[in-house]
Structure 1
């Protein structure tokens, strides 16, 4: 018996297995949501400056494979799969802002297709199409389609794994389908371990189905167990690194469970609209509703509960993979009833209009910084304008845990090679995310006639933006010959005295 027959009030719909096996899904069902999501994802994708985490992605992807693997043994192992994929991608397509973000845009478009296919399986064609189109309009979807981080790929992996589970439940005796599902779970874990909380929704669906067919418990249990064994080395390594990776995340309060929803959707209005639509789906196919509702709500609850120990993991980006479940539920609600065909277009139009401010804001130059940020591109443009071969550079490395130097370096032309005067060992050489500075700055000065200085803020004397020992070493041999202050930064040109 398949997972999807005529809609009974307390079961998931059960079409015959042949219906799905021949892949007789109308192209338009997934094409329009995919195209809409991709169009919004690509619109001005390269305009926001790379954020702090994106700069880390660029830095890691630019390292050699051996160097990258060595780094992952000490830090960021849980994001290692993404770094390796991005390393290969940038080797072919380059490292422009569009290039490094394109995998996320494509993954988000793929997620829209999965939303439509899941909605089709659970609630019917119109529900699948509506869910996919609603998904495309969520500002959080466009925002993280513009992010050179693994979140969009995680969303795609979670959505595809849900589809693989539904296929396995069509034919519980088919071991290959359970093996494919297990591989999906492994992929989710390799991209982000926190996303394995999606299994809460899978367990709810399997538990309901097991009332009629016990063997689904065996298939599900063995698949998850096999995935757990495969992921266990990463779990152990990730646990060892949590002190460095998650120590900055605060333990969540009860209000965290309220605040997270507008953060996930990147719009309070959109969150409210889709969650309201989702609650109206409760009169639909009950098992399908339970599956989607648990998939949407349980992961944040589980992560919130786990975040009251030594380490907190409660950060909204880690739970973006729940958005497809909300979209499927909203699509089911919107297409329920005889009059639903007249509701879809107006609701989509209203949602699109309501989210215009958020869609515009997330494409601003500093959109990837919560409270504004340093304009690395503007600083690089000043240096590029006056650059001369043989110039050196000094960064304020006390700011942003080393991201400051990465940001300016990224936006400088690759041919503008300048010695980093006070750099002792780069992050790449240390197999780490952080570099180390010269313990005695005076000894690190060379014979360069000109040194660029980039510091945050607008101090009258730009050397005051450096640690005292570095400032003293420079003052002894260099004088400030000119300054510009773009985007909250100070860029100064120092010339050697005498």
Structure 2
């Protein structure tokens, strides 16, 4: 029997097979990190109750577009773009916990894909996909990928702007690429002004490239001028509101600058592991390490320096957009340290085990209101089970921000309780704060029963405004009190006439 060797494939078929293989590799590069991050972030998406900041989002997005724009003239202008986007989303998909948090879960999943593409360009395919996987297991990614606030979208926009900058540098004469970069960077600023500090890292890279191509000076200058024109109105409006919104943020000391890295990762162990991997990152070119290093380090330093004036901006959530840079460096370091897939997989598994306790912590019921847990859902259940038509309610607004909104969110939408001492609703006055009744005794309308919700387990009348407490005690007596986590739910009944 004669065995004949197979005929060699035509060159066209070889090229076609190679093209298919390349497309599969390219698709896997962004697809696997996307689904891994989305899967991890979506796990336990509804385990934690809505936090106070999320309740602000809920309250804002359920206003009309006109009311949102009017409110932004008074407060929270820096989050206006996010509120408007979420207003459209909620109009389509409702305001359930899943609906409110899903956009941020999708945003961090998209961020993982984008930074894998960046990693591929800077350090190679293996480092890119490892960077996306490392990003997925960082506890802060799950924490803020499960929060209905703008920070996850900012991470995505910053990563995308960085990728588009690299693409623009590939073809400096392409107006489309510069326009895409400029538009995305403008979105970064409109989502959160402080995130524009990433421009420092971009500027360093642009300056290095401009030595060889001087046209980059005016091309990048035009792009950045367009960004400035877009965000300046928001910056000016936000500046006029900053003292009202950030008066409570302390001026940072040197230790705060060092500890912010731990807070950004939401895990000291994870921070240490990724920094160790980042220090092992290698590249035949200096530019990739320079870009990621300046992206990771310069924004926190700039915010720290800016926080020693009249107002402090130093909060770790404002620099979460540096996480992709750390993941890129860690991916490059892991690729350099592990010579085989098995070694890389083993190190990734070790990292996942190392971060598991912090991942569990991110999904605790009161994590989004830590360190002051408040069980809004349990308080709402107490009212729901014992509610009678005509009941009213009084909320402790002296000690607790958004306690009223938290309970209202978890109450059935058709269960209406008159808020006894609320003179004006925040949406009616285009603000985030309700106006309290000036003369509490005149705001009592003769309801037979009033629910009193206060923070803590102390005597409930001692937790509210003294004027309100005196008015209530003059006409009502305490019928029952029930403690839930962080709160007391009391029922007041009208005193019988003797």
Scaled by the length of structure 1, the TM-score of the pair is: 0.93
8 Å CA contact 1:123, 1:285 repeated in 2: no
Aligned pairs for 1:483-494 (under 5 A) are: 483-494=481-492
SS at match of 1:364: coil
> 1 CA distance for matches of 2:208 and 2:280?
21
Shift, 1:218, TM fit: 1.8
5 Å-filtered alignment, 1:18-417, equals 26-336=26-336, 339-401=339-401, 403-417=402-416
Which structure has the larger Rg over C-alpha atoms? 2
- The C-alpha deviation readout for 1:221-262, integer Å capped at 9, x for no partner, is 110011101211111111111111221111110111110011
Equivalent residue, structure 1, for 2:16: none
How far apart, in 2, do the equivalents of 1:217 and 1:55 lie?
Answer: 44
Q: 1:35 to 1:56 in 2, by over 3 A?
A: same
CA 1:328/1:284 → structure 2, altered by over 3 Å: closer, same or farther? farther
Q: Tell me, what secondary structure is at the counterpart of 1:188?
A: helix
2-structure distance, mates of 1:202, 1:268: 28
Distance 1:356 1:220 in 2: 43
Give the Cα separation in 2 of the matches to 1:317 and 1:38. 20
The equivalent of 1:436 in structure 2 is 435
| 2:338–2:344 CA contact under 8 A, matched in 1 | no
1:363-397 residue CA offsets vs partner (Å, 9 max, x unmatched): 01011123232211111111011011211111111
- SS of aligned partner of 2:95: coil
Note the C-alpha offset of 1:133: 0.3
Is 2:465 the partner of 1:480?
A: no
- 1:275 CA displacement: 1.2
How much does 1:452 deviate? 0.7
* Contact 1:251–1:314 (Cα < 8 Å) also in 2: yes
Distance 1:23 1:185 in 2: 29
Residue 159 of structure 1: how far off its partner (Å): 0.5
| Pairwise CA distance, 1:440 | 0.6
1:464: how far off? 2.4
Secondary structure at 1:455's aligned position in 2? strand
Say if 1:53 and 1:293 are closer, same or farther in 2 by CA, change over 3 A. same
Q: 3-state DSSP class of the match of 1:428? A: helix
Deviation of 1:285 (Å): 2.7
For 1:149 and 1:236, how far apart are their aligned partners in 2? 22
Counterpart for residue 12 of structure 1: none
How many angstroms apart in 1 are the aligned matches of 2:205 and 2:24? 24
Following superposition, the deviation at residue 47 of structure 1 comes to: 1.3
Structure-1 residue corresponding to 2:14? none
| 2:398/2:463 contact within 8 Å kept | no
Residue 148 of structure 1, CA deviation: 0.6
Q: Is the 8 A contact 1:249 1:314 kept in 2?
A: yes
8 A Cα contact 2:123 2:283, kept in partner:
no
Task: Find the counterpart in structure 2 of residue 11 from structure 1.
Answer: none
Deviation digits for residues 132-175 of structure 1 (CA, Å, limit 9, x no counterpart): 00000100000000111000000000000011101100110111
Q: Does structure 1 retain, via aligned residues, the 8 Å contact 2:372–2:486?
A: no
Structure 1 stretches of 5 or more lacking a match? 1-18
1:282 Cα deviation after fit: 4.3
Report if the CA contact (8 A) 1:205-1:287 is conserved. Answer: yes
Separation of aligned partners in 2, 1:40 and 1:414:
31
Out of 454, 467, 470, the position equivalent to 1:469 is: 467
**TM-score computed with the length of structure 2 as normaliser:** 0.93
Partners of 1:458 and 1:138 in 2: how far apart?
Answer: 36
